[in-house]
Structure 1
């Protein structure tokens, strides 16, 4: 039987590798077969942790999962899984990596072990970028960043040894090797990923491009995601493949968001809408306030709302407005809080490498008609 953190439940498609593990969309305590593995002494704190996690009280959830693990004597895979997930969502990457290593040590088979090693490698890779870019409370530290990258590579290399056919491990391993400038090895990993039976068509196409030009894979991969637009459609990383995307995290109560809005909206008039997407992600508590503001201000772009806070967690958003620009291969190329740097210039440079898309092949949401 597969343990709940594995891709059989949460990460069935290659494109959703980073997404499912980070978002924690499936809470383990709700799965009967997994709950049965929680020792009696750990059942209550484990269930409490699940309730706290559902309520986004992550510190309390982490404490409860720690208590459940202690009550189990340290041998409770669902407890470890839940703890690793919460630690990742709290950006406690080193702690999450350590917990994933414990999962690997207790895993009952090679596939389970490889999947835990993937999680360990991902946590170290996230820590590397935090130490490189100085995001959040983590300061830039080149020496520590280099060590985190080595730790990520070691975990993924072991994962590949345990399960050579795991396309998810190979894809992330390729990204890590690309970041280490081990281009020949990275190209082999991307080639193997593209050939794996479980790889989605979109992920396969990315892997093939990366294999031909490893430099395209350098940088932070965008976590796969899905969001509902104001008119009920779905926008995802797959649907944006090949596009240059500016993600704008904003709120109606944010003075700086309103101040910068004209500049951000003007990009829609500056760039070809077959190749450029403005993805607006609102963070208001009130859906009504969001809809009224968009309608009153006649905002264009793809309008979504992050009511569950999952997108904020995936994109490491801690202030507003936050802008993230990623390219057609799903690699983050710029991140900014407020209009700092040259967002328009970054988009223009990236668009220079994106082929034109015929008008009849475009699938973006139309702009509202002018009054």
Structure 2
């Protein structure tokens, strides 16, 4: 098995997009050279992925601000989440709640608090922490009844707690707060239809603009199986796998399968020329900043994911020589036997 590794300098811990509490009135500490220096140092260290040192720098700035700078608290909170310091993040979320000056801002802080408790609950979903998270998220909805993030996360938590009817209500509430054009809308709709899906390992929800200009939304695949192929033109093992992917695209043409190849290439022209030369006719997307790769936790290529017609992540295969075809046959057969929902606008491959 051969693979290409993602350079360590751009690795990030994937985490929920956390709401920022927004601007605050100017304060004397902002003109303090020590405060400004600490903020600059924190930003630079974070950019170079030295997260623990960046956290220390922001803590220094927060101390100078007497713990009242909302922007600094947000940076501290986000870094604590990224580095797995969940207990510390709970404390920071409480500080953000105290610093909030409006009900809407307090609601965002309460979502942060609930999310951190959810993370603390871990894979075992410890009931006491899940119930505590539920309390925080319901408080967030009292402060802002239009907080879509609070509805969505509380729906997930209630599903884990086994309260499917209440979970469905929260997902429906989420749908009333976001536009149907929002990439998260379809995922929330799927969960509202069947909250039990929360209990499965779902692929990250995402929407990207493909090479042909069309929008690819994972949750809009209309009951089809999805194969995601992370690769690059300069990756030797990926080039060895290309005939196999082309074979899959040809063999399953007309079947309920969508293939999307996600490239790490930085050179757009080279990427396009390679695709044209090799007649890669399925969906193509260039993940130049590796943001989508981080969502999936991809650190090396070639890397495959198979996703069933419900959006459940069914398999992850790394390196060349993976039995992708065998897994797809089973998933496609199951998709054919299931009731077919309305298909999405993107034709796939």
TM-score w.r.t. the length of structure 2 is 0.73
Q: Does 1:180 align with 2:161?
A: yes
C-alpha RMSD over aligned residues: 4.0
| Highest RCO, 1 vs 2 (Cα 8 Å, sep ≥ 6) | 2
Cα deviation 1:179-216 (Å, max 9, x = unaligned): 2322122122223333x244536756654553343223
Shift of 1:79: 0.8
CA distance in 1 between counterparts of 2:181 and 2:209 reads 22
Which position in structure 1 is the counterpart of 2:92?
99
Which position in structure 2 is the counterpart of 1:189?
170
CA distance in 1 between counterparts of 2:129 and 2:226 reads 28
Which position in structure 2 is the counterpart of 1:39?
30
Cα deviation 1:109-154 (Å, max 9, x = unaligned): 22212212223333454566xx53xxxxxxxxx4x76666455434
CA distance in 1 between counterparts of 2:180 and 2:15 reads 14
CA distance in 1 between counterparts of 2:162 and 2:241 reads 37
Choose 1 or 2 for highest CA Rg. 2
Q: Does 1:163 align with 2:144?
A: yes
Which position in structure 2 is the counterpart of 1:21?
17
TM-score w.r.t. the length of structure 1 is 0.69
Q: Does 1:120 align with 2:87?
A: no
State whether residues 190 and 210 of structure 1, in contact with CA within 8 Å, keep that contact through their aligned partners in structure 2: yes
Which position in structure 2 is the counterpart of 1:13?
none
Q: Does 1:302 align with 2:283?
A: yes
C-alpha spacing 1:213/1:332, structure 2 compared with 1 (3 Å): same
Which position in structure 1 is the counterpart of 2:8?
none
Q: Does 1:363 align with 2:346?
A: yes
Q: Secondary structure at the match of 1:311?
A: helix
C-alpha spacing 1:147/1:284, structure 2 compared with 1 (3 Å): farther
Shift of 1:166: 2.1
Q: Secondary structure at the match of 1:279?
A: strand
Q: Secondary structure at the match of 1:21?
A: coil
C-alpha spacing 1:289/1:207, structure 2 compared with 1 (3 Å): closer
CA distance in 2 between counterparts of 1:331 and 1:290 reads 30
Aligned positions of 1:236-255 closer than 5 A: 236-237=217-218, 240=221, 243-255=224-236
Equivalent residues, number: 328
Which position in structure 2 is the counterpart of 1:11?
none
Q: Secondary structure at the match of 2:300?
A: coil
Aligned positions of 1:1-371 closer than 5 A: 21=17, 36=26, 39-41=30-32, 42-53=35-46, 58=51, 61-89=54-82, 95-125=88-118, 132=123, 142=124, 149-150=130-131, 152-194=133-175, 196-200=176-180, 206-237=187-218, 240=221, 243-271=224-252, 275-327=256-308, 330-338=311-319, 339=322, 343-345=327-329, 347-348=331-332, 351-352=335-336, 353=338, 355=340, 362-364=345-347
State whether residues 224 and 308 of structure 2, in contact with CA within 8 Å, keep that contact through their aligned partners in structure 1: yes
Extract unaligned runs of 5+ from structure 2: 1-13
C-alpha spacing 1:62/1:218, structure 2 compared with 1 (3 Å): same
